[in-house]
Structure 1
Amino acid sequence: MKNEKALVVFSGGQDSTTCLFWAKKQFKEVEAVTFNYNQRHKLEIDVAEQIAKELDVRHHLLDMSLLNQLAPNALTRDDIAIEHKEGELPSTFVPGRNLLFLTFASVLAKQIGAKHIVTGVCETDFSGYPDCRDVFVKSCNVTINLAMDDQFVIHTPLMWIDKAETWKLADELSALEYVRDKTLTCYNGIIADGCGECPACRLRKKGLDEYISAKGGEAS
């Protein structure tokens, strides 16, 4: 696939940055797209722009502020607590987010001549988000191709691996330290290892600890 072009849905977090490194290995040309939906931390956009610049990847920023208006939740409102009650979707779930992201990404992909779209969604550590499931992505891929009369391929390199395996993939791509130090995963807006308390930080740290332990020492 080195002779083809890919567009990475990019937030500047651990997963999408790992996917960006993966895409750069897989495709001859890679661009990235970040969506501004008035998310809880604008720093996320700054981080995405900086990483794209450092990795020499053309970066697109699309206005999706309507999503903030339609779907108030803990990722779009400072006054909504980050919580996950048993039997309920997490308060960080943004209804329709990945559906809209993949749809708009495909429109952009058509404009820039990219047939491949890469996203970091994962069913293994998906926290119950329905739009991170493999069945959703495959359905969305079919719908996008029918709607646009084209043949896009949506790639999900993290779909069936957990956080420890995601760290392993980053290490295999010679990007573990970069991902650890440069990305923003924390719901409280702290770069790198984050606050250590929010669900995203706990999941990230648990995966890193498991990977380092399995590797038998410090991360390379």
Structure 2
Amino acid sequence: MKDTFTHQGMRKKLVETLSRKGIIDKNVLQAIGKIPRHLFMDSGFVDHAYVDKAFPIAADQTISQPYTVARQTELLEVKKGDKILEIGTGSGYQAAVLLEIGATLYTIERQNELFKKTKLFLPKLGYKPKRLIFGDGYIGLQSEAPFDGIIVTAGAPFVPNPLLAQLKVGGKLVIPVGENVQIMTVFLRKSDTEFEKEEYGEFRFVPLLEDKN
């Protein structure tokens, strides 16, 4: 698990690319500049780790494009100590970004192979979510609600109501909504019954799957 000067230089270039693409949150850029993304990928893809692209990981899933990770995190507006729920732990890269920024993180993964791998891997890099759970992201995590923010890292054909219900007033849900192409959508909870919705363009994600286990 080496992080060389070459890797660090590649990360610096990636951060410059993300800045040019419009990411302005300094905390997000710093996190991406620090986290060794190549360690989250199969060794065959290491040369591509700091290219702004998504790549395959285990269980037919992908590690999201760095721009997507940065944009979702920026839209979530995470402050140090915020209680965040992540739906779709995947490789753990998005989780590492949130933890690096200072989130108190709860994260759910429904692919058992990925869950087991990431649960062992994240602590080795010094990243420790409050809880990493094997389960169905559609139902959220009622036992720990409400959350300051919820981030969904897979394409959702619809917005699961439990996720909206588990937001604090003033909290945000960042979720890509759609079947083949997703619209990045942010819901801000204004009151017990009122939500403000904004859309931020098209993205492509692997689908958010309901728990079949």
TM (norm. structure 2) is 0.34
Greater share of strand residues, 1 or 2? 2
State the structure with bigger RCO (CA 8 A, min sep 6), 1 or 2: 1
Greater share of helix residues, 1 or 2? 1
